[in-house]
A = this chain, B = another copy of it.
Amino acid sequence: MCVAGKSSTKRKILELGESLLQRLGYNGFSYHHIAQELGIKNAAIHYHFPTKEALGIEIVQRTRTRFTKWVNHPENRVKPVRQQFDWFINSYSYNLKSQHRVCLIGSLATDYYTLPPSMQSVINELTDEIQKWMARLLDHGRQSGVVDFQGSSQDKAVCILSSLTGSLQLARLLGDDFFYRNIKQIYLDLNFTY
């Protein structure tokens, strides 16, 4: 037992599960993958997560908690738009560098209609939260003259989030450069003043 948070094993399962989910897809990884890599048995995982669904939900909620915490942290809320934007972009670059993971949302989106409804719900909420945050950030940036672009902030946010999701996936087929080209173009099209 671990008083302050999850037991070591539980945390390891969550982290590896997240990695596998992003590397192989929800239907592409199994408890066996986890068991083998952690040197434990199938049943041990079921002790921490009774069902695969339960594991999946906690993986998503963990990501959401991380995002919400960062975004709402007083220190970060007052950061320049550029810095907040960079932080978000970097989280995608991190995925690319970590064995070419695709983003959690994209991974679950392609498997969406094979997922239990409970998982569909949590991934919806996460995505909605990110979308709204990005639209607000762009709007704020434009009003303060830091960025410039055509159209509504929401449409621009949609476009950027989509291309981040997609480029992480296509980079698997066409090479890392595909992702970095996309990033470059995104920054170019935002006309940052500094």
Where the two chains meet, the residues of A that have a C-beta atom closer than 8 Å to any C-beta of B are 23-25, 27-28, 100, 102, 105-107, 109-114, 120, 123-124, 127-128, 131, 149-151, 154-156, 158-167, 169-170, 172-174, 178, 181-182, 184-186, 188-189
B169 and A24 form a contact (CB under 8 A): no
With the chains together, A153 CA to B111 CA distance in Å? 32
A173–B123 CB distance below 8 A: yes
Is the contact region of chain A dominated by helix, strand, or loop, or is it mixed? helix
17 more A-B residue pairs beyond the given contacts A24-B111, A162-B167, with a C-beta to C-beta distance below 8 A: A27-B27, A28-B113, A150-B185, A151-B188, A155-B182, A155-B188, A159-B163, A159-B185, A161-B166, A162-B163, A162-B165, A163-B163, A163-B166, A164-B166, A165-B166, A165-B169, A166-B166
Please, which residue of chain B has its CB at the minimum distance from the CB of A110? Answer: B110
Contact A173 B112, beta carbon cutoff 8 Å: yes
